[in-house]
Amino acid sequence: MSRLGWAGRAAILLAFVGVFGTWRSSGDVSLNGFEGPHNGWLVIVFGLIALAGVGAAARGFWIAIVFVVGCAAAMAYGAALSLVDHGSVLGGSSGWGVWLTIVASAGLAATAVAGAVGRLGARSSPSMT
């Protein structure tokens, strides 16, 4: 299995860790991605779906690349929506978990894009015959 595939799986795992971390805190109260109005379940569902295609995306299959980038976008959107929409409603500050989830989701998308770049690079390189 390629390093890129492992990097994609690690990004998904980090996003899951972020969901269980603090997404919002105010004083002694803190909420993770599952508590309150947060979208942690969205991150988990799309992360599990992305696991099905991350290996193929790392090998440069276009449909898998699009699939994984779409899942990563949904994961980042869910976390960012919780960050933006609920900040004024709940008060307090953003926690490390929501930021880790956003960064890990972006990292997942980057691994898929790297798979695309690798495929394009392999296609355009001259053969040594």
123 belongs to a structural domain:
no
Per-residue model confidence (pLDDT) at position 120: 84
Per-residue model confidence (pLDDT) at position 85: 63
Distances (CA, A) of 71 to 25, 52, 67, 87, 88: 27, 11, 6, 24, 27
Per-residue model confidence (pLDDT) at position 125: 56
d(CA 60, CA 44): 24
129 belongs to a structural domain:
no
7 belongs to a structural domain:
yes
Per-residue model confidence (pLDDT) at position 31: 87
76 belongs to a structural domain:
yes
pLDDT tens string 3-12:
999 999 999 9
Per-residue model confidence (pLDDT) at position 1: 52
Count up the domains in the chain and report the number: 1
**Which positions of the chain have pLDDT values less than 70?**
1, 85-91, 122-129
* Structure tokens belonging to residue 79: 């976390």
Q: To 10 degrees, what angle do helices 40-51 and 3-20 make?
A: 160
77 belongs to a structural domain:
yes
41 belongs to a structural domain:
yes
Q: Which residues, other chains included, contact 52 with Cβ-Cβ below 8 Å and sequence gap of 6+? A: none
8 belongs to a structural domain:
yes
Per-residue model confidence (pLDDT) at position 38: 79
Parent domain of 42 = 3-23+32-118
Per-residue model confidence (pLDDT) at position 93: 84
127 belongs to a structural domain:
no
